[in-house]
């Protein structure tokens, strides 16, 4: 069954992202992702379940898992693909800052037909990631098996490459851009302060002391 409302589509997109980020997708976690109350999220999840797009797993209660069905996965992947292609278009063609394109892409993704989506992907050169480094699902809904870890987990002397920014929050993205901490940028950890103190990192010839609130959101690959 195809979801017809933008509100329901936002839910499927959010569940798809959370499901692929690991861990159990619960009502509480989904509510936090969408910035909504748990009761309203529970109501929509019930509707999506009735439509055959999600299923519930585990014991009843707040910790009960939510998973997309095969039909839900197809819908969610298509939505995420259109969203991330839209972000790529806004940054690459319209030269918009990466910290503002998320909201604009949310508007565009619901208006793109499959035909326009295909032409857009072709014009963009079939990009593999969005401006924030997140993988763009293929036309078949597939995603690469990315092995990323938070920058926080690295030890002194470790070197890596920035893969993606876990949370697309405007202030964070502007801060990272000002330091040149963008996807595909090599980064090395020089020291780690004790008691959850900052990490001293090197990017090119520059050194930065980054707090854990920042390094937790920078995902890297080796």
| Average pLDDT value for the chain | 93
Considering the four listed CATH numbers 3.90.45.10, 2.60.120.560, 1.10.3720.10, 1.10.10.10, the one that applies to the domain covering 6-68 is 1.10.10.10
pLDDT of residue 144: 86
| pLDDT tens string 62-116 | 567 999 999 999 999 999 999 999 999 999 999 999 999 999 999 999 899 999 9
Please report, for the chain, the start and end positions of each structural domain, with discontinuous segments joined by +: 6-68, 80-145, 149-221
Q: Tell me what the mean pLDDT of segment 175-191 comes to.
A: 98
Q: Which residues of 96-109 are buried (b: 16+ CB within 10 A; e: fewer)?
A: bebbebbeebbebb
- The CA-based dihedral angle spanning residues 125, 131, 132, 135, taken in that order and rounded to the nearest 10 degrees: -10
pLDDT of residue 147: 87
pLDDT of residue 43: 95
DSSP H or E segment with residue 219: strand 218-221
Considering the four listed CATH numbers 3.40.50.1970, 2.30.30.90, 1.10.260.40, 3.10.20.30, the one that applies to the domain covering 149-221 is 2.30.30.90
Same fold, 6-68 and 80-145: yes
pLDDT of residue 186: 98
pLDDT of residue 108: 93
């Amino acid at each position: 069954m195809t979801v017809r409302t933008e509100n329901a589509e936002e839910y499927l997109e959010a569940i798809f992202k959370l499901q692929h980020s690991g861990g159990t997708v619960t009502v509480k976690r989904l509510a936090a992702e969408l910035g909504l109350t748990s009761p309203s999220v529970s109501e929509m999840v019930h509707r999506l379940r009735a439509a055959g797009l999600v299923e519930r797993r585990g014991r009843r209660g707040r910790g009960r898992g939510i998973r997309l069905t095969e039909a839900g996965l197809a819908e969610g992947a298509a939505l995420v693909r259109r969203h991330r292609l839209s972000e790529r278009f806004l940054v690459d063609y319209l030269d918009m800052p990466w910290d503002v394109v998320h909201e604009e892409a949310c508007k565009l993704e619901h208006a793109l037909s499959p035909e326009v989506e295909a032409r857009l992907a072709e014009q963009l050169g079939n990009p593999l990631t969005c401006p924030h480094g997140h993988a763009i699902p293929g036309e078949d809904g597939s995603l690469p098996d990315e092995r990323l870890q938070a920058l926080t987990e690295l030890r002194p002397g470790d070197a890596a490459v920035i893969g993606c920014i876990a949370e697309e929050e405007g202030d964070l993205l502007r801060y990272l851009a000002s330091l040149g901490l963008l996807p595909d940028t090599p980064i090395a950890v020089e020291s780690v302060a004790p008691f959850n103190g900052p990490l001293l990192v090197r990017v090119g010839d520059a050194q930065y002391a980054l707090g854990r609130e920042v390094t937790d959101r920078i995902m890297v690959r080796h």
